[in-house]
Amino acid sequence: MNLTVALFGIAREIVGQSSLTLTAPAGQSAAGLLAELRTRYPALAGLRSLAVAVNNEYAAADVPLHERDEIALIPPVSGG
Protein backbone atom coordinates (compact mmCIF):
# COMPACT_ATOMS: atom_id res chain seq x y z
CA MET A 1 0.00 0.00 0.00
CA ASN A 2 1.04 3.60 -0.53
CA LEU A 3 1.24 5.89 2.48
CA THR A 4 1.51 9.66 2.40
CA VAL A 5 3.16 11.27 5.40
CA ALA A 6 2.99 15.00 6.17
CA LEU A 7 6.10 16.31 7.90
CA PHE A 8 6.44 19.12 10.39
CA GLY A 9 9.25 20.96 12.16
CA ILE A 10 12.70 19.46 12.14
CA ALA A 11 11.34 16.23 10.55
CA ARG A 12 10.64 18.30 7.44
CA GLU A 13 14.18 19.72 7.51
CA ILE A 14 15.66 16.25 7.74
CA VAL A 15 13.62 14.80 4.88
CA GLY A 16 13.86 17.98 2.84
CA GLN A 17 10.21 18.14 1.80
CA SER A 18 6.86 18.81 3.44
CA SER A 19 5.41 15.39 2.68
CA LEU A 20 6.54 12.06 1.30
CA THR A 21 4.92 8.97 -0.15
CA LEU A 22 6.24 5.49 0.42
CA THR A 23 5.16 1.93 -0.19
CA ALA A 24 4.60 -0.17 2.90
CA PRO A 25 3.43 -3.72 3.50
CA ALA A 26 -0.28 -4.10 4.26
CA GLY A 27 -1.02 -3.78 7.95
CA GLN A 28 2.16 -1.79 8.64
CA SER A 29 2.05 -0.33 12.16
CA ALA A 30 2.85 3.24 13.17
CA ALA A 31 6.06 2.01 14.81
CA GLY A 32 6.94 0.02 11.70
CA LEU A 33 6.54 3.10 9.54
CA LEU A 34 8.72 5.10 11.89
CA ALA A 35 11.41 2.41 11.82
CA GLU A 36 11.33 2.38 8.01
CA LEU A 37 11.64 6.16 7.86
CA ARG A 38 14.54 6.07 10.33
CA THR A 39 16.37 3.64 8.09
CA ARG A 40 15.87 5.89 5.11
CA TYR A 41 16.65 9.09 6.98
CA PRO A 42 19.04 8.18 9.81
CA ALA A 43 18.85 11.70 11.30
CA LEU A 44 15.21 10.98 12.20
CA ALA A 45 16.52 8.37 14.63
CA GLY A 46 18.02 11.23 16.66
CA LEU A 47 14.57 12.62 17.48
CA ARG A 48 13.53 11.25 20.86
CA SER A 49 10.01 12.63 20.86
CA LEU A 50 8.19 12.44 17.56
CA ALA A 51 4.42 12.20 17.63
CA VAL A 52 2.82 10.13 14.87
CA ALA A 53 -0.67 11.37 14.02
CA VAL A 54 -3.06 9.09 12.15
CA ASN A 55 -6.30 10.73 11.02
CA ASN A 56 -5.60 13.54 13.49
CA GLU A 57 -5.33 11.12 16.39
CA TYR A 58 -2.13 10.50 18.37
CA ALA A 59 -1.14 7.01 17.29
CA ALA A 60 0.18 4.37 19.64
CA ALA A 61 3.09 2.28 18.33
CA ASP A 62 0.92 -0.70 17.35
CA VAL A 63 -1.78 1.19 15.46
CA PRO A 64 -2.17 -0.41 11.99
CA LEU A 65 -2.05 1.96 9.02
CA HIS A 66 -4.29 2.00 5.96
CA GLU A 67 -3.76 3.39 2.50
CA ARG A 68 -6.00 6.43 2.83
CA ASP A 69 -4.92 7.35 6.35
CA GLU A 70 -3.83 10.91 6.90
CA ILE A 71 -0.45 10.47 8.56
CA ALA A 72 1.74 13.21 10.03
CA LEU A 73 5.03 13.31 11.92
CA ILE A 74 4.95 16.08 14.51
CA PRO A 75 8.05 16.78 16.61
CA PRO A 76 7.88 19.24 19.49
CA VAL A 77 9.10 22.78 18.75
CA SER A 78 10.40 25.15 21.38
CA GLY A 79 10.75 28.63 19.91
CA GLY A 80 9.07 31.57 21.58
Angle 52-25-19 (CA atoms, 0-180°, nearest 5)? 45
List 10, 24, 31, 35, residue binding another protein (CB under 8 A): 10
Site size for another protein (CB under 8 A): 22
The residues, ordered by sequence, that sit 6+ positions from 51 with a Cβ below 8 Å of its Cβ are 58, 73, 74, 75, 76
Contacts of another protein in 22-61 (CB under 8 A): 46-49, 51, 53, 56-58
Residues that bind another protein (CB under 8 A): 6, 8-10, 18, 46-49, 51, 53, 56-58, 72, 74-80
